[in-house]
Each structure stands twice: as C-alpha cells, then as structure tokens.
Amino acid sequence: MAQQFQNFIGGKWVPPTTGKYLENRNPANWEEVLGAFPQSGPDDVNQAVQAARKAYDGWRLTPAPKRAEIVFEAGEILKRNKEELARQMTQEMGKILAETRGDVQEAIDCAYFAAGEGRRLLGDTTPCELPNKLGMSFRMPVGVAALITPWNFPMAIPSWKTFPALVAGNTVVLKPATDTPWSALNFVKALEEAGVPPGVVNFITGGGSTVGQPLAEHSSVNVVSFTGSSDVGKVLGSTCGSKLKRLSLELGGKNAQIVMEDADLDLALEGVLWGAFGTTGQRCTATSRLILHKDIAKSFTDRLVAAARGLKVGNGLEPGSQMGPCVNERQRKSVHEYVEIGKKEGAKLLTGGNMLTEGALGAGWFYEPTIFGDVKAGMRIEQEEIFGPVLSIVTVGSFEEAIQVLNGTPFGLSSSIYTRDVNRAMRAIRDIEAGITYINGPTIGAEVQLPFGGVKETGNGHREGGPTVIDAFTEWKSVYIDYSGRLQKAQIDR
C-alpha cells in the first residue's frame, strides 16, 4: 500500500475530512505509485483558512527581519537536501534530473532574495506642501494569501509566492497541483523545520473545483495568487472581481524566438533546442514558435531537425536523458491532438509527431520532439498554447515582419531575438509585446531578482520575482504627521 501523506493545517499534519486520497504516480513509469495525497474538500479549505486567519495577527506583528530569518533558514534546509528533493521531483514530475536540481535551486535562490527584502520593505518619505508637516508611506500586509500553483515547477513556483508573502507579513494557504503534491509538501516541510509558527503556512491538496475554487471564494482570503492556464485565470478573475479581492495572475504563453540572418546560428540552434524541448516543452516560457529570416531558414531548419532527432528521450533519472515524459496521459493526448490539428491546417511535419510506446518508454507518457515547418501566422498551432514538445517554424522576410508575427498572438510572456545588430536588438526590446525579452538567449532562463510575468492574456499586471512581487502581497498606507500645533488645511491654506 502506498504511503499516505497529510495536509498541514495549524502547524499539524492532519488527514482530510473527506477520508479520500489521490494516488501520485511517476509519469515515466505509471505503474510506480509514489504516495497517496489528500483529496481534500471545502471543509479542509475552511480549516486551513481559519488557521491562517488565527495566526495572522501574531505573524504581522513579528518584525520583518525576523520573518525573513525563517525564510532564509528554509532556504538553507532546501540547500542541504537539494539532491534528494531533485530526485523525488523527477520521479513525480518527469523532467530530467539536471532540471529538477535547477527547480530546487530556484527555490533556494528565492529564499535568499526574499529574506533580503525583509530589511528592504521600503516606503517613501516626501515633503508636504504645508510647514511643520511630514508625509510618508508604508507597506502593510494584505492578510491571508491563497497560493495556487502548477505542476511544471512544483517547488520553484510555490517559493516565488510563499517566501515574499511571508516576508511581507501575510499568512498563507498553499494548494499545489494534483500531479505534483510531493515536491510542494517537501517545500512546506522545510518551512516547518525552519520554525514557521503554527498556522502561518498551511498546505492542502486536492482538485481545482473542490479546493482551488472554494479557497479563492473564501471570505477570509484576502489575496489570491495563481499560476496556470489563461482559461482558469479568467474564472478566478471573475470570482475575485465580484468580491473586490486582490488577485495576481501568471498565465499562458506562446513564446517565440526570432533568428535573423546575421545571428550566431550555432548559438541560436542551442537556444531553440533548449527553449523548445527543455521540460518537454511544459513551461509557460517554452519556445513554442521559431521565427526565421528567409535567408537562413532552410539551412537552419535542416540543422535543427537533425539535432531534435538526436535528442535522447527517457526517464529523467537515467544518465544521458535529455527530455522526459509529458506529466500525464491527458497532457500527452492533448499534445498529440495539436499535432493532428497542425497536419490538417497544412503545416509540414518535419520530425516527430508520435507517442513513444516501445520498450521502457511504453511504461510512461513519452512523446517525440516535434517540429512543424511551413507554419503560417494565424494557424492554431501558431496561436494556441500546446504545453508540450512541439515547435512551429514561421519564415519571414524582414525584421519588421518578425516582430509583427511575434506580437500576433493573445499572449505576451517571453520572447527572444538572435542578432548581432545592436540597433535591431534595441528596437526589439522597444517593440516586442512581452513581459520578458532575451537578446541572444532562449525564451527560458528567468532569474529571481527580476520581475516575471507578461502582458495581454498572460496575466493581469502583477509580476512575480524581483522586488515587484512584494506589490502583490502588500497594501500601501500613507501617513501624515502634523507637528505645527494647529489645524492646517491642505490645498485650502495654500
């Protein structure tokens, strides 16, 4: 029988009120059951939120540097256990070990960065228009934060949300994706070991309809932070909007890499292979489109197809594996459906396009690295997020057309251009509609000290990462101190 794991509520590990559990399986070997996690319900949500509400006053009155020390210690614990945590993440999520080590490292980096913000929750002091009067502003915590996270970065993304929320003085309820509860549980255990007080961090697992939506709707939740699909983000936008509740959304992408005729083509080839097929294409920042200048399109495509065919697909724990499985059967089926759509739209399948079911790969949800040529702007495979190892190549005749094609989707998360022309690079930075732009780098590789997020249907204006993440988890309070000893009337007395 698989080990049963529990929810973490009010500082204790407790079983779900439903008495139900969901199996957590290895996507590279679906017969391997990693554990059973609570299939929680609204009663569990209510208990977790009430625990967070009860702990809030004590936590918000804890000095921010002290809050930050606990976050820093959690980072140290993750660092000590990095290899074990990475191996467990590969078993749970499927991506290769090098990438899961990076996932854990990102959580460590975020801990250190957020801990530093504990001594930099800065406000402003400013001159007032009347004599003997001082104006200043402070950051104040929002309250209880509901954090709903996806499966593709099962430790990094919880860290992006949890650590800044805690340093800012909020208490949290974390709901991970049902495909990857183990990594999130390990993350919470690090915080528990670091000494976070009971109720400050709560953790419940379960589905979106039974946990996620009730969590977002709960009257005692003050801010919701969600990373996931744009469709779910729109539902949450409606839910939180009707209650005037703070909401931070980091949603989908249809990211493109432009390669101009003057680019370092060897470097660009490395970049698109990593951007398109890293994490099996299961990143919101994955390179889903490749925009090639016509002068180099044929030769570059030939090299890219040959390189993609040489990628080793396999269990992420096996040495030499370069790409793991899709996270589950449903995701692989969705990827394959998009491949069929691409064929029907008239795109040319250059390589891949098949489920991998032979030998050891037949035990998991593996799919070939897939590349389409002759893709036209406006095709569904060029417009819609596939979230798998499928790359669409669009050929253009000019820099201006490349920018137009890149901007021509509903999304605006990440973008990339390879060129040796500094003038083109600067124009790309100015004209690309995206929250992130890489020059001579792939569309993936964000660092924690800079804002992360996008425009259009990629989000609602908030940013994770960098000092800007604090904006999602704090309210501004303006304070006026009048030491004139008399009533002064702003504007009127002037």
Q: What is the CATH number of the domain that holds 236?
A: 3.40.605.10
Asked if residue 166 and residue 56 are part of one domain, the reply reads: yes
pLDDT tens sequence across 55-72: 999 999 999 999 999 999
CA distances from 299 to 292, 305, 445 (A): 10, 10, 26
Q: Which residue has the tokens 């099996």?
A: 280
What's the whole-number mean pLDDT along residues 13-29?
98
Asked if residue 383 and residue 328 are part of one domain, the reply reads: yes
Is pLDDT above 80 for 177?
yes
Answer whether residue 451 is part of any domain. Answer: no
Total Cβ atoms within 10 A of residue 359 = 8
Asked if residue 283 and residue 149 are part of one domain, the reply reads: no
CA distances from 152 to 127, 180, 212 (A): 47, 8, 17
Distance CA 321, CA 258 (A): 27
Distance CA 128, CA 123 (A): 16
Total Cβ atoms within 10 A of residue 462 = 18
Token pair of 5 as six digits: 């794991």
Asked if residue 157 and residue 92 are part of one domain, the reply reads: yes
pLDDT > 90 fraction of the chain, expressed in percent and rounded: 99
pLDDT tens sequence across 99-137: 999 999 999 999 999 999 999 999 999 999 999 999 999
pLDDT tens sequence across 282-337: 999 999 999 999 999 999 999 999 999 999 999 999 999 999 999 999 999 999 99
What's the whole-number mean pLDDT along residues 263-279?
98
First to last CA, the chain: 78
Enclosing domain of residue 224: 7-251+459-478
Domains held by the chain: number? 2
Is pLDDT above 80 for 414?
yes
| Three-state secondary structure call for residue 345 | helix
Asked if residue 100 and residue 49 are part of one domain, the reply reads: yes
- List % helix, strand, coil for the chain (3-state, nearest 5): 40, 25, 35
Asked if residue 161 and residue 28 are part of one domain, the reply reads: yes
Asked if residue 408 and residue 467 are part of one domain, the reply reads: no
Strand 171-175: give its sheet, edge to edge.
12-14, 7-9, 201-203, 171-175, 144-148, 223-227, 246-250
Asked if residue 166 and residue 63 are part of one domain, the reply reads: yes
Is pLDDT above 80 for 147?
yes
> Which residue from 342, 331, 406, 401 is spatially nearest to 370, judged by alpha carbons?
342
What's the whole-number mean pLDDT along residues 76-105?
98
Average pLDDT value over all residues in the chain: 97
Asked if residue 329 and residue 375 are part of one domain, the reply reads: yes
pLDDT at 456: 97
What's the whole-number mean pLDDT along residues 406-432?
98
What's the whole-number mean pLDDT along residues 390-399?
98
pLDDT tens sequence across 339-384: 999 999 999 999 999 999 999 999 999 999 999 999 999 999 999 9
pLDDT tens sequence across 433-477: 999 999 999 999 999 999 999 999 999 999 999 999 999 999 999
Token pair of 403 as six digits: 């920018």
Radius of gyration of the chain (CA): 24
Is pLDDT above 90 for 180?
yes
Domain CATH number, residue 429: 3.40.309.10
Asked if residue 143 and residue 24 are part of one domain, the reply reads: yes
pLDDT tens sequence across 186-227: 999 999 999 999 999 999 999 999 999 999 999 999 999 999
Answer whether residue 490 is part of any domain. Answer: no
Distance CA 421, CA 433 (A): 20
Asked if residue 168 and residue 282 are part of one domain, the reply reads: no
Instruction: Please give the positions annotated as active site.
Output: 250, 284
Kindly state the DSSP code that residue 212 receives in the 8-state scheme.
I
Is pLDDT above 80 for 1?
no
Residue 494: which pLDDT band, with cuts at 50, 70 and 90?
A: confident
DSSP bridge pairs for 136: 125, 479
pLDDT at 2: 87
CA distances from 377 to 371, 380, 385, 408 (A): 16, 9, 14, 8
Distance CA 365, CA 293 (A): 35
pLDDT at 4: 97
Asked if residue 278 and residue 403 are part of one domain, the reply reads: yes
| Three-state secondary structure call for residue 31 | strand
Answer whether residue 2 is part of any domain. Answer: no
pLDDT at 9: 98
Answer whether residue 348 is part of any domain. Answer: yes
Answer whether residue 220 is part of any domain. Answer: yes
